[in-house]
Structure 1
Amino acid sequence: MTSNAPLKELGEFLKARRGELSPRTVGLPDTGQRRVPGLRREEVAQLAAISTDYYTRIEQGRVPPSGPVLQALVRVLHLGDDQRDYVFELAAKETAPVRRGAQKIQPSLRRLLDDLTSTPAIVLGRRMDILAWNTLAAALVTDFSALPDKHRNLVRIMFTDPALRTLYDDWNTVARTTVGMLRKEAAAYSQDARLAALVGELSVRDDDFRTWWGSHQVTAGTVGTKTLHHPVAGDLTLDWDTLTAGTDPDQRLIVWTAETGSRSHDGLRLLSSWAASTHLDTSTT
């Protein structure tokens, strides 16, 4: 069978995870220093109860693994839940590209955004494109309306807007998480030309992106806590959550909240008042 993009990515992902494990981690004897770090192919095959030739062809993207074999590799390589979902999605992909039309925000999500006057929120679509936002999100992160439509992408903004590197207290962790989220998106849209162009552009422009993309780490990125140093609202510690639209699972609402009565909560109220006075645009794609 000839290789295709999802199987090639699956093989590269398995190879990267193999390189992170030591023999001792998986219960094999440590025979001393190795030329390259991690497990050998034959060791992974042995632990998964398959032939070395079969595993080699899987890593080379030449054959799709069966469900039981993939489950065995999940166990052997100590993959987490997000990583497990990722490899199963890659293994299930067809080679033929799927044509998808331009995304438009669901009307119900637009109404919800408009009602969230004291909570920053954005709607992400495929490729982590920013489909819509409310006034407070624009005040918190950046003026999305000032960007061309094709540049309204969360990952692209993270790596091309210098202000975000000082906005986030731990930019490295936040940015690396967005790369892991985009890598997971790539499994769902492996034939997407715009996604490939985005990855290519950022790989050329930013060394960190190129390194983190090459590490093949994935994350669902559905919840978390971020600390921000905002020029208007001051220091903010915000929880963020993700809600998936029931009418379109490719659209996700991201909201940032703070504990009631906290300094961060007061900071959001201050930012809301400031945003209302600046008349930030909440136009959508």
Structure 2
Amino acid sequence: MRNWKFAMASAILGSALILGACGGEEGSADSSSDVEETTSDTAGEESAEVEGAVSGDGSSTVAPIMEGIVEEYAGDQPKVQVTVGVSGTGGGFEKFIQGETDFSNASRPIKEEEAASLEEAGIEYTEFLLAYDGLSVVVSQDNDWVEDLTVEDLKKLWVEDGSTKKWSDINPEWPDEEVVFYAPGTDSGTFDYFNEVILEDEDIVSSATLSEDDNVLVQGIQADPNAIGFFGFAYYVANKDTLKVVNIGGVEPTHETIESGEYEPLSRPLFTYAANKAISEDPAVYDFMEYALENAGDMAEAVGYVSLPEEEYEKGLADLEALK
């Protein structure tokens, strides 16, 4: 299997990922063993060849999973071009509502207003679970004072209150240095989730650097011992040699604590939403979505997330089959 944990961080977050026919013959030959390792047992039979184009957009948190699936799929179905943008959960839903995409990746459930807009646009959709994530709070490895923060500490740090935030505000034994903040952009589902469970809809600290590109956040935190930020667990796993994860309420985000829910309130599911009409009318869309659901668990584990129980993937495949 390709070492996705370390390869994905530098590769996934361009303005779009276009992987398909350009995967070509060389990619098919080179990745034949990779496909065997990353595909689930349910995908044992060789797929019939299909042609076409499939488009998606959405969450940068979901991107490591979907990018890996798209690249492997290119070896399986070289005549299908799959294009996946990473404009954030909110940005992805905007394109989905406009009918520009066949599926939309999300690191939070769809909002009521987004669902209403899709209904108004006449777009019926189905929600598919892909994996579990533990939103990870990280600092530079040069930070030798922060090991654990409570939810209350996080709120005190991250909520805008007109003050200059210093580490000593949390613990007087910590440096009297200004905290430097990095966070996902406001179109990100990760921002929405943090806003809901930590900020509780209060304004985020005004000095924070916001970016839809999680690699920008990673690089900023790596370079500054006074920096703190948050993003999906896979980005921590891919950069754990240069970042330090912070325990929340005494619990470290790990595969075990994320799957069990012990790492709360920052454990969450990851989704993709697909247009029913595209699934039922376009064989390429159906084939890609089937491949994605058959392989999401293995790819989630490969890139650093946590796979769902097998029955969840079976339910997703049954829901997909019902739309065919």
Normalised by the length of structure 2, the TM-score is 0.23
Q: Point out which structure has higher relative CO (alpha carbons under 8 A, 6+ apart).
A: 2
Is the radius of gyration larger for structure 1 or structure 2? 1
Higher helix share: 1
TM-score (norm 1): 0.25
